[in-house]
Structure 1
Amino acid sequence: MKEKIICLSFILLVFLFGIIINTVNNTDTERYIKVTMKGAVRHSGVYFCKYGSSFAKIIETAGGITERGYLPEGLDYNMPITNDITINIPAKYYSIKKNTEGR
């Protein structure tokens, strides 16, 4: 009977020690997400950002949008990014009318 109590006490001690280590490790690490920036940004590439970083922060990390970059007016720049994502910033397109009068 004494051996069973010692064995159960040891198992309980190991179990509690594992819980303590797991708790300490989970609070010290931060989760990162992979964001691939493409298109009209100054420095396109792959960035690792903190989980929940805002759309604006990720664009800032990529050096900002170029002069030809275009973002829609209704876009929420404070939207948190929570998954690995590829963001493609489109470029503005200009249309030039050819003057055909007088021919």
Structure 2
Amino acid sequence: MAWIALIIAGLFEVVWAFTMKQSAGFSRFWPSVITFVAMAVSFGLLAWAMRVLPLGTSYTIWTGIGAVGAFLVGILVLGEPANPMRLLAAALILGGLMLMKLATPS
């Protein structure tokens, strides 16, 4: 269950990153509200997962999901560039996340 909570926490990190961008510096009400709610859910699930999983693994996976997820949202939703160097960087992050998962004892 801790791994599932951690993955969901990472997905909520993507939500709050996207809605923070949409809030225009917290000047738009609803995107700002969604940002803070998503942050609370993300942090809460991360904290819950950390009760079972190691700190380094939890934080690395959480930030990695958020980073790659925000990168993909930027490309797919916001029209940000997807050049080969950026794609390679995202692939390397994903590789690191997979290694971290494999290196963590059950």
Determine which structure has more spread, i.e. the larger CA radius of gyration: 1
- Give the TM-score normalised by structure 2: 0.23
Larger relative contact order, structure 1 or 2 (CA cutoff 8 Å, min sep 6): 2
Query: TM-score scaled to structure 1, two decimals?
Result: 0.24
Q: From the two aligned structures, give the one with the greater strand fraction.
A: 1
Return the structure number with greater helix share: 2
